[in-house]
Each structure stands twice: as structure tokens, then as C-alpha cells.
Structure 1
Amino acid sequence: MTRSVYVVGVGVTKFAKPGTIGDYPEFGKQAVQEALVDAGVEYAVVQQAVCAYIAGDSTSGQRVLYQVGMTGIPIYNINNGGATGGSGLYLAKQLVEGGIIDVALVLGFEKMSFGALKTATLTDRASPYDIHVEKVLGLLKDAQPGVPMTALAFGNAGIEHMKKYGTTELHFAKIAAKNYRHASKNPKAYNSRECTVEEILSSRKIHGPLTKLQCCPTNDGASAAILMSHDAVVRYGLQRKAVEIIGMEMATDTPDVFENPTFMKITGTDMTRLAATRLYKKTGISPKQIDVVELHDCFSCNELISYELLQLCEEGQGGKFVDAGANTYGGQVVVNPSGGLIAKGHPLSATGVAQCAELCWQLRGEAGDRQVKGARIGLQHNLGLGGAAVVALYRKGFADHSVQAKL
């Protein structure tokens, strides 16, 4: 029998330019300490920890956590691409849900380098992305010198959507402007300056519809979350803090990605759709009941495409969804109130756990100037090429769980 799992404490550092906030042991420790203070518990209650990072050596998690406490607990170090943070949450949830432990810590952190992400760091072996890169290059009609591979893939996914559904560059720019506007109210965000649609469209062209201000930056930063079972929440008196993870699904690529490749499939549409469909079926929650969303807007076009995959709107209706203002305050659902990856920043493995933190603050009513009024159901979407997609639903725990569909 599975058990309910709750997030009881979260911590997020400010996301910053690489090299400007110290080394990963420092800001990793800060995130963990913030989560412990938020939960009001000591590190000694943590029974197992999952540490999520990409740019680091094999036991970097221990390097961070030994500063907080050396209690001899199991510490796992994981890497799952851009979905590493969400994958850490997924693993920790299973540990608690399955009755193996009652208290888990998830830490996501990243100390990154300036510039575009590299698809591989080792030259003496196959890249984990080599087949995906081969498919991207095979779909291209012209050589694209100097364009980062991720921008190439996602930019062309945006072009595909434009050709298929009539989406425009303006729709993508509006999404970026919305996220900068949201981030201006987030003290943890990397970019706190609002950007106009005109400024976004006139910024340096990267590829296709994407300009520089529509691409997520590389950042340093960390985030942490403490997960507990129902019994542990009661034991430590954390009912008022607890946010329930209603459900969480992870999906990976299906054969169709390689057998019938398109840019949208290569950039994870099938994974996201599959994870979301499974999640709604298992939880009985409808997309219409969702109030607030933190999704993986690594590029503005991916946010729009994800609206449809997560069933926030009908397929092909993402542009109309944007034009109606349905993705922000006063609309159907508030997407990326934190500012998202584009404006809040994207320290790869910290992103998934930071999404969880933002949803917890929103559902507790603790999000300050960016609070979504009456938020009761939150959705998280964390994506990694190569590939993995994690989609989760949250609600305030130990409260009235009778959620009515929005009219």
C-alpha cells in the first residue's frame, strides 16, 4: 500500500551569473539550511538524501551535506539531464511513498560555466545525446554554423509549431515578456528587470524565432526540499506547512522519436504528453482544476508547446491561449510565477527542486507579491533531453481536499 507524501520545507538560493556567488558547497549548504529552517527540523531527522547535479564529480552531494551533518545516512548522487532536479524529487517520493523511510532530503545544485550548454564533455566515448543530435542534423536542410545544439533543436521545434498551427514569433515573445514581468517580483530570480515584447524581439537573433531574451541563461544556484510521510508530518507537528504531492510521473523517449523524428518529438513532446496523461488518469485531477504551473521554459517556444502537452489548452491553440492572457494573473492559470527558466534562471539541476519550492510557497499563500490568489492545485513540469520528463501535481496538505473544477 502506498503512502501519502508531503513537502514540509523548501529552500532556494538566488540564481546568479556563474562564479558570482561562491562555490557549490557554499550555496548548496545555504539551500539545505533554508529548507531545514522552513520545516523547523534538524538535519538529524533526515533518513536518506538525494543530491541532483550535472556539473560535478561523483560525490559532490556528500561534499555539500557533510557541512550540515555527518549522520551516516545513504546519500545518492544523480544526473538525468535537465530533469535531474525533478528526478531527484521522483526518487525521494518513491522512498517515502513505499514505506522505506519517513523523511527524505532532495538537493539540486549547479555550478556552471558561461556560454551555451555543451552536448558532451568527454571525447573518448559516445555522447549520451549522439542519436538525438544525429536526428536533429538529419532534419536540417541547411548547415547551421555556430548555433548551440539546444537552440537549434528547440528553435526548429518552434518553427514546426508555427508552420503547423499558425503560431507567430510574437506569441513566443509575449511568453518571454510575461516571464520577465513575473520574475521582477521574485527576489531569488537572476533577472529582475522587466523586458518589453519589442525589446525581446529586437534582441540578438539566436535561431529561428528565438532571440537571446527568449533563451534561458546558465546560472549557479541551489534548491532543496524535505519530504515526509503522513506519520512524520504529524509526529513533527508540520500539518500547517505540509504540501501534498498528489502524484508524480516520469516518462522517457518512445521509439517514435527515432523512427519518425520531428524537432518537436526530439525536444520531448512525447515524453511530456505521456507523463501528463498518466498523471491525470492516476490522480483524477483535471487540467481545468490547476491554478498555478511551473514548467520547463528553457526556450519561449517550449513553454507554448508545453501548454498543449499538459492539456492546459487544446492542441494547436497555444497562440490563442497566449493572446487571451490565459497564462498569467487574471487568466485561466498562472504559468511560471517565479519567472521560469528564462528569467528566474536555470542552474540545471536546481531547476526542478526550485519549481517544487515555488509551488509550495504558492499553495501555502507565502509567495508575496507574486502570490496567485486562491491557489489550490499546482503542476510542475521538468524536462531533460536525451531524455526524461517529470510532471507532478501538488495541493495543500491536511486541508479540505474537495477540489471543484473551475468553471
Structure 2
Amino acid sequence: MAENVVVAGIGMTRFGKYLERGVRSLAEEAVGDVLKDAGVEPKQVQTAYFANAVAGLMTGQEMIRGQVALRNTGLLGIPIFNVENACASAASAFHLAWMAIASGQYDVALAVGAEKLFHEDKSRAFRAIGAAVDLEAINDLKKRMAEAAQASGKPPDEKGGQNRSFFMDIYATMTREYMKQSGATAEDFADVAVKNHDHGALNPKAQYRNRCTREEVLASRDISPPLTLMMCSPIGDGAAAAILCSEKAARTLGVRRPITVRASVLVSGRDRKADEPGAAERAAERAYQIAGVGPEDIDVAEIHDAAAPAELMIYEDLGFCKRGEGPRLLRSGTTKLGGKHVVNPSGGLLAKGHPIGATGIAQIVEICEQLRGTAGDRQVKGAKIGLTENGGGFLGRDAAAMSVHVFGA
């Protein structure tokens, strides 16, 4: 019988621009915070899962990233596993830590994600992120995207991957298709950004704490039409960590505010037809089944709004509304603070930031804060059940990796 798993502690840096800091410095801060929060000593941690996506491409550090990043934390000597799974790296590390506890192999595990994307040469970060596709099929992908853009009357420039993330071109292609299917407008996408910046203004860990207006979002420079700058998540630096343990270990350790992991699901994308379920829909369906809940039971969610339109698409993938009704759900106010099913109270990737190897655990940190009732001005009142959705990479017409977690107070 699988062990019940709880989150015993959480910690993270503020996301932002840290030109003077490296991955190790960021990871050390998050690990120090999570150990303090859990009331756990380094010697009590039995295994660690370290997530990072692009250090190899940004700095050349490969193969033993976790051992290097955790070298000064007092954790060396235990099994340390290095996890790389594009933007879903941290959620994947958390899933592996959950498996380690659920299997009964370990009682206390650490999951930590750290990323450093800011560089004097910004195009270096864009090129690194752009590697999260099937490079053997990249020319075919670019051709299909260019043809779709030409047909829409919005031909792309040739600087994708140099002055922007290639993924914004992918999101733009998906967005144009979604607009036809749902009737979504640029104003809807701007309103997603406005909502998430409103939430981010209340989050001391957010990269951007400024509010914005619909007009400002629409007037920001074009990135890949119809996406403007403020509809796209920023690059950033940061780290986030969680300590997981069995319920028995939580009692032994005297954990004060355990949060139950009700479901931990990781799936891969696959080549599929347009009318077949995508990775997020498949992962969510499985997570709901395991957790014994439905989308209507989710009080608060952190989802992967790497581009503003993606939030509306994910509403539908997660079953928060019917197909094509994402814009209507947004307009209803249901997903903003004060609504019935609040989405991205942290500010989401758009405002909180997106240091890709840390993002998935940062989402979990926010949900744990919400379920503990310690989220301050952005607290979702009475939150009892929370969900995270974190995707990474692109394969065919889907995320290459997709994680959905469900948590209970």
C-alpha cells in the first residue's frame, strides 16, 4: 500500500534578475528557507531531486548540477538525482520525490529547482529555451508555423530565437487557431495579463509587482502577433524548494502545517490529432481520479501561463469550463481573487516570473501557502483544495512533459 505523502516545508527566492548570482547561490537560499520552514536538519533529509533545465547551455555545467548546487548545504552524501524536463523540470523533481516517499523507500525527501536565465547576451537564454523541441524536426516545425502565420496575414520576422523565445512563435500559432475556435480576442489576452499582474502586485516573491491596464498590454511592442510583450512571460532567475515526507515522519518530526499531496501525475506529450486529448487534459483527468475530486472542487490553481492565451486554453484542458468557453470564464471574474475558482494568485508566470527549472515547485509553494492560509493579501478565503499544472517543451502539437498535482489542506 502506498504511503500518504505530505509537503512538510516550502521555500523560494524572489524571482527576478540576478546578474551577480549563480545557480548555487539561488539554490542555497531556497534550501535554507525550506529547511527552516519544515523544521528539518540537513542530516534528516534522505534523498534530493535537483531540477534545472538550461545550466548546461548557459554555463557549461553538466552532469552533476545538483551535487554542485547543493555542495554547501550539508546535504552531500545522500542520493542526489539530477532532473531535466524543460519547463516541467521542477514539477518532475517533485513527482520523483513524491514517488520516493509513496513507495516507502524514504521518509524525507527534498525537491528543489533552480535556474539562471539572465545573461549579458539575452539571445543566449532564448536559444537555450528554444532547444526544448525536436531539433531533428525543427525545419518542418518552422515551415508549418510560417505557413500558418502567412495565412493569417501576420508573417513572422526571421529573428525568432534571437530577440524572443522561439516558444512565443509556437504560442502565437496556437493562439491564432484558438481565436478562431473560441472567439477569444486580443482584449481577452490582455485581461489575463492585467489579472495576473494585479495578483502579482500582492506577492513579495514576484518578479514584477506593478499593476497594468488593458491598454498598456495591447500597446506593448509586438513579440509574435497576436502576442505583445506583456502577454509573454519574462525570463528570470530564481529557485524554489519543497520537503516531502510520509505522514508518519511528519508526526515524528513535529511538522506544524503539513499539506497532503492528493495526486501527483506526470505524462509525456505525444503525436496526436487535433481532436484527441492533449497532455494537460490527460494528466488532469488522471489526477482528478486519483485525488477523488473534480474540477468543480478546485478552490485555487497555479497554471502554466507562459503566454496569456495559454491560461484560457488550460482552463478548458483542466475542465474548469467547456471547450471554447475560456474567454467567458475569464470575463465572469471567477478566476480572479474574490472569485470561486482563483487561478494564478501568485501572479502566474506572467508576473511572478518564469525561471524555467524552478517554476513547477514555485507553483507548489504558492498552493501550499494558500492551503495553509498564509498567503497574506492574496489569500483565497477558505481554500481547501489546490491544483498545479506545469508543462514543458513542445512535441508535435503538445507539451513534451506535463505535470498536474492536487493538494489538500
Contact map agreement 2:260 2:408 (CA 8 A) in 1? yes
Contact map agreement 2:130 2:167 (CA 8 A) in 1? no
- How far residue 163 of structure 1 moved from its aligned partner, in angstroms, is 0.6
- Aligned AA for 1:394? F
Would the alpha carbon gap of residues 103 and 308 (structure 1) be closer, same or farther in structure 2, given more than 3 Å must change? Answer: same
- How far residue 183 of structure 1 moved from its aligned partner, in angstroms, is 0.5
- Aligned AA for 1:253? G
Aligned to 1:81: 86
Map of 1:198-347 to 2, 5 A cutoff?
198-238=215-255, 240-256=256-272, 260=273, 270-347=278-355
Bigger shift: residues 143-152 or 32-41 = 143-152
> 2: CA distance between counterparts of 1:122 and 1:169?
25
How many residues are treated as equivalent by the alignment? Answer: 384
Would the alpha carbon gap of residues 199 and 133 (structure 1) be closer, same or farther in structure 2, given more than 3 Å must change? Answer: farther
> 1: CA distance between counterparts of 2:135 and 2:322?
31
Aligned to 1:54: 53
- Aligned AA for 1:228? C
> 1: CA distance between counterparts of 2:338 and 2:379?
12
Instruction: Spell out, residue by residue over 1:100-126, the C-alpha distance to the aligned partner (whole angstroms, 9 max, x if none).
Output: 101000110001135365455999xx9
Of 381, 399, 407, 2:389 maps to 381
Contact map agreement 2:101 2:245 (CA 8 A) in 1? yes
Aligned to 1:15: 15
Of 364, 369, 375, 2:372 maps to 364
Bigger shift: residues 32-41 or 11-20 = 11-20
Contact map agreement 1:120 1:127 (CA 8 A) in 2? no
Q: TM-score, normalised by structure 2?
A: 0.90
Aligned to 1:140: 146
Indicate whether 1:184 and 2:201 are aligned: yes
> 1: CA distance between counterparts of 2:300 and 2:404?
13
Instruction: Spell out, residue by residue over 1:297-343, the C-alpha distance to the aligned partner (whole angstroms, 9 max, x if none).
Output: 10001111000001111111001011111111222211111101110
- Unpaired runs of 5+ in structure 1? 397-407
Contact map agreement 1:379 1:393 (CA 8 A) in 2? yes
Bigger shift: residues 350-359 or 110-119 = 110-119
- How far residue 196 of structure 1 moved from its aligned partner, in angstroms, is 0.8
- Aligned AA for 1:346? H
Superposed CA RMSD:
2.0
Match of 2:179, SS state, is helix
Contact map agreement 2:42 2:75 (CA 8 A) in 1? no
Q: TM-score, normalised by structure 1?
A: 0.90
Match of 2:358, SS state, is helix
> 2: CA distance between counterparts of 1:90 and 1:79?
13
Aligned to 1:90: 95
- Aligned AA for 1:112? L
Percent identity of equivalent pairs = 38
Would the alpha carbon gap of residues 208 and 363 (structure 1) be closer, same or farther in structure 2, given more than 3 Å must change? Answer: same
Match of 1:246, SS state, is strand
- Unpaired runs of 5+ in structure 2? 56-60, 395-399
Would the alpha carbon gap of residues 27 and 290 (structure 1) be closer, same or farther in structure 2, given more than 3 Å must change? Answer: same
- How far residue 69 of structure 1 moved from its aligned partner, in angstroms, is 0.6
- Aligned AA for 1:279? A
- Aligned AA for 2:15? F
